Amino acid sequence: MSARVTPDPAVPTRQQPATREVGPPPPRPRRFNRHTVERRTLGILRWTVIAFFLLITLLPFYYMVLLSLKPIESLLRNPASIIVTPAEFTLRAYEQVLSPVSAGGQGFGTFLLNSAFVAISAVILSLLVAVPGAYAVARLPFFGYRQVNALFLAAYLFPAIVMAIPLFVLFTRLGLRGSLVGLVLVYIAQTVPVAIYMLRNYLETVPVSVEEAGLVDGLSRIGILRRISLPLVLPSIMATGLFIFMIAWNEFLFALLFLVERRDSWTVSLGLSQLSGSAEIPTTVLMAGSVVLTLPIIIVFFSTERLLTGGLTAGAEKG
């Protein structure tokens, strides 16, 4: 059992140094480094640029819709007004635009149906030709395929007026001038080259090993195209179809050459050009026709936006 040792008061003991209590360091002045300044500056500039482009894009469309909802009397009294009061709101211009000619209107209801038929037919038939053609150029090398690929783009570089006269003579001899079917064939010939060029670039991004795995599993080339390649490039097909639809919907030159003699076969762009060239048509009716021409493109774009972006990461190569 150990004995307890008591310190002798005569013997000096070593004193321990007193401990100092250390507090938190004083706050340093806040400094902005280069990264913070650039990030905040670019953030402000980004929203400024977005707001600027939204303003210059939406303001003309808003003013066009505004003029179409006003009576011509209010527009003549105050053309600079940018609001529509409840007392001024009217759909008389749209009624006049969409009503048939027999009822005193401009017949844009028929023009919408004609444009829809031409645009949808051109999209479907062009994609039916362009998808296999693009796959053949991208995956089935043949003699002269590089030159053929360059010719697809070169054919689109020629101005439309260069092809207008030969096509006009050809379709007149075939008896297709004045028909919507002839106009659809013209749009197919005009859009298939660029559609093949666009789809070829997308199909080349599909991994070759995925298609080789399909060949090992016993799929044919058509089966690979239908089951593997098409689902992976579906967003690009939708983008190409939307591009073709916009061309066929807004095209004016060939519609004027082939359909000018038959008013019941006019498209919307041709009908709008007749409105703008007439001094007897009020501005409100002209703006209503412009809205009718523009609104379907906006609806189609926003309704297919999810399809355009939804399949971008749907397929991937896993190892």
Give the pLDDT confidence score for residue 314 in this predicted structure.
43
Q: How far apart are CA 70 and CA 93, in angstroms?
A: 8
Task: Please check whether residues 296 and 226 belong to one and the same domain.
Answer: yes
Instruction: Please indicate, yes or no, if residue 20 is contained in any of the structural domains.
Output: no
Q: How far apart are CA 122 and CA 246, in angstroms?
A: 10
For residue 254, give both structure tokens.
């060939």
Neighbour count for residue 250 (Cβ, 10 Å)? 17
Is-contact 75 64, C-beta < 8 A?
A: no
Neighbour count for residue 102 (Cβ, 10 Å)? 7
Terminal alpha carbon distance of the chain = 73
For residue 207, give both structure tokens.
């991994």
How many domains are there within the chain?
A: 2
Q: Which of the listed residues 90, 108, 130 is the one where a domain comes to its end?
A: 90
Give the pLDDT confidence score for residue 201 in this predicted structure.
81
Give the pLDDT confidence score for residue 112 in this predicted structure.
92
Q: How far apart are CA 126 and CA 185, in angstroms?
A: 9
Is-contact 282 56, C-beta < 8 A?
A: no
Q: Cα-flanking dihedrals φ and ψ of residue 84, to 5°?
A: -120, 115
Give the pLDDT confidence score for residue 5 in this predicted structure.
53
Q: How far apart are CA 215 and CA 99, in angstroms?
A: 57
Q: How far apart are CA 259 and CA 256, in angstroms?
A: 6
SS3 12: coil
Task: Please check whether residues 77 and 139 belong to one and the same domain.
Answer: no
The pTM of the whole model exceeds 0.85: no
Instruction: Please indicate, yes or no, if residue 262 is contained in any of the structural domains.
Output: yes
Task: Please check whether residues 207 and 61 belong to one and the same domain.
Answer: no
Q: Which of the listed residues 27, 60, 90 is the one where a domain comes to its end?
A: 90
Strands (E), the chain: none
Task: Please check whether residues 179 and 289 belong to one and the same domain.
Answer: yes
DSSP count for the chain of H helices, then E strands: 15, 0
Task: Please check whether residues 182 and 260 belong to one and the same domain.
Answer: yes
Instruction: Please indicate, yes or no, if residue 24 is contained in any of the structural domains.
Output: no
Task: Please check whether residues 111 and 233 belong to one and the same domain.
Answer: yes
Task: Please check whether residues 282 and 135 belong to one and the same domain.
Answer: yes
Dihedral angle of Cα 219, 225, 228, 234, to the nearest 10 degrees: -170
Q: Which of the listed residues 74, 90, 106 is the one where a domain comes to its end?
A: 90
Task: Please check whether residues 115 and 240 belong to one and the same domain.
Answer: yes
For the chain, helix, strand, coil in percent to 5 are 70, 0, 30
Instruction: Please indicate, yes or no, if residue 158 is contained in any of the structural domains.
Output: yes
Instruction: Please indicate, yes or no, if residue 142 is contained in any of the structural domains.
Output: yes
Q: What is the pLDDT along the chain (319 residues), one digit of tens a residue?
A: 455 555 555 555 555 555 555 556 665 655 556 777 778 888 888 889 999 998 898 888 888 888 888 888 888 788 777 788 888 888 888 998 988 888 878 888 899 999 999 999 999 999 999 998 888 888 877 777 677 777 777 777 777 788 888 888 888 888 888 889 989 999 998 888 888 888 888 888 888 888 888 888 888 888 888 888 888 888 888 888 888 998 899 888 889 888 888 888 899 999 888 887 776 788 888 888 889 988 888 888 888 777 666 544 444 444 4
Neighbour count for residue 237 (Cβ, 10 Å)? 23
Task: Please check whether residues 151 and 217 belong to one and the same domain.
Answer: yes
Instruction: Please indicate, yes or no, if residue 155 is contained in any of the structural domains.
Output: yes
Task: Please check whether residues 243 and 149 belong to one and the same domain.
Answer: yes
Is-contact 159 254, C-beta < 8 A?
A: no
Give the pLDDT confidence score for residue 308 in this predicted structure.
65
Q: Please give the helix or strand (H or E) that residue 133 lies within, else none.
A: helix 108-139
Task: Please check whether residues 127 and 273 belong to one and the same domain.
Answer: yes
Q: Which domain holds residue 46?
A: 38-90
Q: How far apart are CA 137 and CA 129, in angstroms?
A: 13
Instruction: Please indicate, yes or no, if residue 238 is contained in any of the structural domains.
Output: yes
Instruction: Please indicate, yes or no, if residue 30 is contained in any of the structural domains.
Output: no
Task: Please check whether residues 206 and 86 belong to one and the same domain.
Answer: no
Q: How far apart are CA 211 and CA 55, in angstroms?
A: 46
Tell me which DSSP letter residue 281 carries. Answer: S
